[in-house]
Chain A
């Protein structure tokens, strides 16, 4: 079993839709959970981070972490064409390296 599982998509939605992106993981020691957005040929850009379980909201983005289920989610409300990118989940233990999911390619159609 891979340490971090993420459906690579592609995922295509109409403008204005709610997007749900998810990752599962196997390492119960992960404590920090991040979502990155990566445009083509660019480095990953941090969108959200959460420590341990819970929800965090930032504008149109909401991150959820359920450590009991080893499941994290990113919701995008009122999706825009500019949200079209690859979204990567990432997680780490306290001071260890970060493990990335494979990334989900999202296209928001006008």
Chain B
């Protein structure tokens, strides 16, 4: 069964450092998303990406965040200068249509 792959599974970084979280969506999917889940809290939308551009973003997705689809298969989330409160599980998802997202297993980001 096709799956969304995320790497690394766990990333520890120092506050102020840049991190890049990587995702390989399902190959025939057209819509891509990043979500995050702070420990014990709900899954929160960050950004959606379609046709090589951001289609929607939340208030969480400020200037410190950016997304890129550099080579037609990878989909990356960059956090430019990490803060302690960025510590969370980050989930990539992709979908063929408006419903039925497939999520990756997530990257646990720990900012120290």
Residues of A that sit less than 8 Å from B by CB: 32, 34, 36, 41-46, 49, 51, 88, 90, 92, 94-103
Q: In the complex the two chains form, is A103's CB within 8 Å of B58's CB? A: no
Bound-complex Cα distance A86 to B43 (A) = 12
Number of B interface residues in the complex (CB < 8 A): 25
Supposing A34-B99, A46-B101, A49-B99 touch, asked if A97 and B106 sit within 8 A by C-beta, the answer is no
Q: Is B32 an interface residue (CB 8 A)?
A: no
Q: In the complex the two chains form, is B100's CB within 8 Å of A49's CB? A: yes
Bound-complex Cα distance A94 to B4 (A) = 23
Among A94, A99, A103, the residue within 8 A (CB) of B45 is A99
Number of A-B contacts (CB under 8 A): 58
Among A41, A90, A92, the residue within 8 A (CB) of B98 is A92
Bound-complex Cα distance A46 to B89 (A) = 18
Q: Is B102 an interface residue (CB 8 A)?
A: yes
Q: B42 contacts which chain A residues (CB < 8 A)?
A: 88, 100-103
Among B48, B56, B99, B104, the residue within 8 A (CB) of A43 is B104
